[in-house]
Amino acid sequence: MQQGILKYLILDDEELARFAVENEADKFSFLKKIASCAHPVEALELINRFSPDVIFLDIEMPLMSGMELIRKKMMDTVLPVLITSHPDYAIESYELNAFDYLLKPFTAERFARCAYRLYNFFQLRTKAFAFDNEQAAGYIFIKQGHEKVKLPVKDILYLEAMKDYTCIKTVSKRYLVLTTLKAILHKLPDDVFVQIHRSYIVNYTKVTAVDKNQVAIQSETFPVGKLYKAALKLYFN
């Protein structure tokens, strides 16, 4: 998916069926057709050449069925949406991880539901990839007012909840971010950051002293909540 656009391929041995899919897909600016074909073998070549995000395909076709194509290609890079006149394959399609299953003749409303589900799925997946890349690179992005700040994770000392805001203290600066403590915790590596209190998360590599009731980072001390003592022991035996 590039810049919110989903590239799709149509595979059906019936010309009218291919036209019906294209006609509905044209109503959505985020769907872009890369090809339309009647033969599964040709579809395999097009998938390898153009790497579509989605393939709308029939099941019963000459030479190779839609199910066989999914098994052959495994659809690890392209999401299959099956469009067929036969309801009997529905269970098998979901066992093969088909994204959706539309019965011919489908309505505009039914296609629209499928299209928006595809869009939302790819949006979420893109965000997940971006999040993974952030973590792998060792930094997170935060919003400081209208400014987006790239913050190295290793520089964070602790985080403190302040109602609707979270204070992030680094080795050189404090940031006040309009988000919850829980939301930021999900962005941080769990082998480095530990929640010690409902209001505090600390970078355990920066902790200078610890006992059963509090931890210290440099000259600051933080209480340890009763519910978090067990988690703290995993980091400090």
pLDDT at 186 over 90: no
Looking at the 3D structure of the chain, how many domains does it have?
Answer: 2
- Once rounded to an integer, what is the mean pLDDT over residues 98-126? 92
Kindly report, residue by residue over 51-99, the tens digit of the pLDDT: 899 999 999 988 888 888 888 775 667 899 999 998 988 888 888 888 9
Residue 42 included in any domain: yes
Examine the domain organization and report whether 85 and 127 are in the same domain: yes
Domain that holds residue 221: 139-235
Are 116 and 178 in a shared domain?
no
| Residues 53, 87 share a domain | yes
- Is residue 104 exposed (0-12), middle (13-18) or buried (19+ Cβ within 10 Å)? middle
Tell me the pLDDT of the chain averaged across its residues.
Answer: 87
Q: Are 168 and 142 in contact (CB under 8 A)?
A: yes
* 213-233 residue pLDDT tens: 899 998 899 999 988 888 777
Among 217, 208, 213, 206, which Cα is nearest to 232's?
213
* Boundary-marking domain end, from 134, 154, 184: 134
Residues 147 and 117 in one domain: no
Say yes or no: 119 and 151 in one domain: no
Q: Which residue has the higher pLDDT, 207 or 136?
A: 207
CATH number at residue 76: 3.40.50.2300
Are 20 and 42 members of one domain? yes
Residues 105 and 211 in one domain: no
Report d(CA 126, CA 40) in Å as an integer: 29
Q: What is the CATH number of the domain that holds 191?
A: 2.40.50.1020
Residue 196 sits at the vertex; the CA angle it makes with 191 and 198, to the nearest 5 degrees, is: 120
Do the domain assignments include residue 1? no
Domain boundary among 134, 166, 200: 134
Q: What is the pLDDT of residue 135?
A: 57
